[in-house]
Amino acid sequence: MKTNGIGTRVLDFSKRFLEHRYLPAILAIGVILVMLPALKTGLMADDLVQRAVELRPDQLPARLRDTGMPPDSGNLGTVLRDLFPGLGGDPRSIALAKNYGLLPWWTPDDMKLGLWRPLTAFTHWLDYRLFPDSPALMHAHNIAWFAAIVFLVTVMYRKLMGLGWAAGLAAFLFLLDGYTYVPVMFVANRGFVLSLFFGLLCFYEHYQWRSAKSRSALVLSALFLALSLFANEGGASTFAFILAYALMLEPGSFLRRALTVLPSVLIIVLWRTIYKLGGFGLSHVGLYIDPGTEPLAFAQVAIPRAMALLGGQITGVAPDLLFAIKPSLHPLVIALYSASVLAALVVFLPWVRRDKTAAFWLAVALLAAIPAATVAPLSKNLGFVAVGVYGLMASFIAALVTRPSRLPERLTYRIPAWIACGLLMMMHIPVAIAGRVLTAEAIASGSRDMRSFINLDKSPDVENKNVIVVNAPCAITLAYMPFYKAYYHQPLPRTLRTLVPGCTSFDVQRTDEQTLVIRSRASDIFTCDDVGPAHIAYIFSACNVAVGVPKSKKGDRHDFDGLTVEVLEANAADVATRVAFRFDTSLDSPDFHWLRFDWRMFSYRPFKIPAIGQSVTLSGPRRMANVEGKKLLDE
């Protein structure tokens, strides 16, 4: 009896807390508290690339201009145009980046890297005008926006679900969501945070327009949708709320409901037109598919990616897991995510059929996953999906607890329903809390490890050296090296060359005084060895092809300052298997600093150039079954 009394009091307290009139403000303050560890993260990766665009040229090393960065950095117009991802969409910038080695030689010449997020860029510009040397305040800026999101999402849940504890539970689950820590603590990811904030404002005003027939709310809704899109392309997921409302909650005929989405459609079409006319967008980037320019390619991956995103949000198992899984196992993992989604639908659907608001949240989750699928499944892009999933989840749990008579009474439904309820609560409260704590620790440790991994050349005369990495396991991470060095006031190398990816074994032969010929022992130079079901090498391999895998034929040449790359052999798929690298000077020149990646030690080591006619073998990654492999996975 005593235990039951304590349990009852705990439940009563939880219910009163979730129904508290000031819950939106309480949860917003809670955001600040749980995000405090992010203040110590500092700047890393894309943050440092953006920093180079934000500062004036006289505040940066002169050599950084050789990497393809905008020559008029620090200018507001430049920041608004070129901040994402830092190179802009100018082909000359891509050419300079390849010539310096910021991008590897295999980057397609026609690759486009130009995202237009002027609203987000402006907020970063303000950061560097107000507190340029305070990363903590930049993180605080992100946290403030996310606190506003949690406040707004709590208000929105209450608008649609009433003032009961179900709406409070949905907001509380959203606050604890394990996938929000990384995007909020990552300064460069502010765009998605802003797009979610303005997307929620858009829907709030849309709701006011439809429920109170307020014309001013219609205008504000259109304005906030435009701001969401100008913050990040992911703002297109805002349309999921508008369309879901028309389908599930809007009364009247089909035509009347269709007309309510027309203003949003016009805003999106206008934004997309301006975006394309400005020359912005991505092409030949492996992780992204633009459905506007590649509709068939997107159609092929949309459902598998959406299932991974939805399954990851429901189960709490991050969809990013796919990157670390052996590619041949991807269909199996996608099937498991899909099974979790279908199992959840089986449990939820009896309630969804009886409750229009639950149907609305389900529609939001499903529709928001489609724009999110334009990018390879990443948990950092799940914000819009999470709003729908937690609304549906809390609505179902509340129905099961307080209105069980509206659900099927048969045990074949009730037992799985209660099991699902317990699993969902466990995964999204205690496990989510533990995940947040562990994520904060992992990010802090990973940030230190990444600096060490990228800062591979610490020689005092590196400014006069051409750094050449024979086999970089993750060539794209080396692109950050000049920006790390600039941030820590270290000299930059003259050039930074990556010869081949390093996820398989290679034979490296010196054919003459100035030439190295590298042959893959696998099917091509981009192949990743089979190193078991899960391995960090698979993540690296995915990053290496993120900038595209060019079609190559025998005799194809790529000319750079001081280096000519020639494809000597290609396989049936037109992917290089044997490549020659001819330098303008002797390979033994003191101007060169040669490095190789040692998988056993998981670090870069000096590479000794073989004698003419001799060759050496560079081994690929090791399986996880051995001790070194286990250490590698831990790292």
* Euclidean distance between CA atoms 594 and 605, whole angstroms: 9
Contact at 8 Å (CB) between 78 and 116? no
pLDDT-derived band at 82, boundaries 50, 70, 90: confident
pLDDT-derived band at 635, boundaries 50, 70, 90: very low
* Euclidean distance between CA atoms 317 and 339, whole angstroms: 13
pLDDT tens across 394-414, in order?
A: 999 999 988 888 888 888 888
The answer to whether residue 356 scores a pLDDT higher than 80 is yes
Looking up tokens 């590897």 gives 104
Contact at 8 Å (CB) between 591 and 461? no
pLDDT of residue 4: 57
pLDDT of residue 38: 86
H or E stretch at 507 = strand 506-512
Q: Which two tokens stand for residue 183?
A: 């995007």
pLDDT of residue 3: 45
Average of per-residue pLDDT values in the chain: 88
pLDDT tens across 480-490, in order?
A: 888 988 888 88
Count Cβ atoms below 10 Å from residue 301 Cβ, excluding itself: 14
Written as one string, the DSSP assignment of 96-158 is HHHHHTSS-TTS-TT-EEEB--HHHHHHHHHHHHH-TT-HHHHHHHHHHHHHHHHHHHHHHHH
pLDDT of residue 456: 65
pLDDT of residue 14: 83
* Euclidean distance between CA atoms 543 and 484, whole angstroms: 19
Q: What average pLDDT does this structure show over 164-188?
A: 91
Among the listed residues 493, 590, 627, the one whose alpha carbon sits nearest the alpha carbon of residue 102: 493
Neighbouring residues of 361: CB distance < 8 A, sequence distance ≥ 6: 388, 389, 391, 392, 395
pLDDT of residue 457: 60
Contact at 8 Å (CB) between 359 and 396? no
pLDDT of residue 86: 61
pLDDT of residue 622: 86
Q: What average pLDDT does this structure show over 216-234?
A: 95
Cα distances (angstroms) measured from residue 113 to each of 45, 74, 201, 483, 486 = 16, 19, 29, 18, 22
The answer to whether residue 625 scores a pLDDT higher than 60 is no
* Euclidean distance between CA atoms 101 and 592, whole angstroms: 14
Contact at 8 Å (CB) between 617 and 507? yes
pLDDT of residue 217: 94
pLDDT of residue 488: 86
Query: What percentage of the chain has pLDDT greater than the value 90?
Result: 57
pLDDT-derived band at 464, boundaries 50, 70, 90: confident
pLDDT of residue 626: 46
The answer to whether residue 633 scores a pLDDT higher than 80 is no
Predicted model pTM: 0.90
The answer to whether residue 630 scores a pLDDT higher than 60 is no
The answer to whether residue 107 scores a pLDDT higher than 90 is no
Looking up tokens 């809670």 gives 30
Least confident of 70-79, 145-154, 437-446, 491-500: 437-446
pLDDT-derived band at 445, boundaries 50, 70, 90: low
pLDDT of residue 451: 63
Query: Is the torsion defined by CA of 320, 326, 329, 331 positive or negative?
Result: positive
pLDDT-derived band at 51, boundaries 50, 70, 90: very high
Residue-wise burial string across 77-91, b where 16 or more C-beta atoms lie within 10 A, e elsewhere: ebbbbbbbbbbbbbe
Query: What percentage of the chain has pLDDT greater than the value 70?
Result: 93
pLDDT-derived band at 5, boundaries 50, 70, 90: low
The answer to whether residue 491 scores a pLDDT higher than 60 is yes
pLDDT of residue 627: 37
* Euclidean distance between CA atoms 163 and 169, whole angstroms: 11
Query: What's the farthest any 2 CA atoms get from each other in the chain?
Result: 87
* Euclidean distance between CA atoms 552 and 544, whole angstroms: 16
pLDDT of residue 450: 65
* Euclidean distance between CA atoms 227 and 588, whole angstroms: 56
Cα distances (angstroms) measured from residue 428 to each of 25, 361, 390, 541 = 21, 17, 10, 31
Residue predicted with more confidence, 263 or 445: 263
pLDDT-derived band at 325, boundaries 50, 70, 90: very high
DSSP state of 584: S
pLDDT of residue 70: 84
Q: Which two tokens stand for residue 353?
A: 């059929």
Helix, strand, coil share (%) of the chain residues, nearest 5 = 60, 10, 30
Which phi and psi (to 5°) does residue 480 adopt? -80, -15
Residue predicted with more confidence, 212 or 546: 212
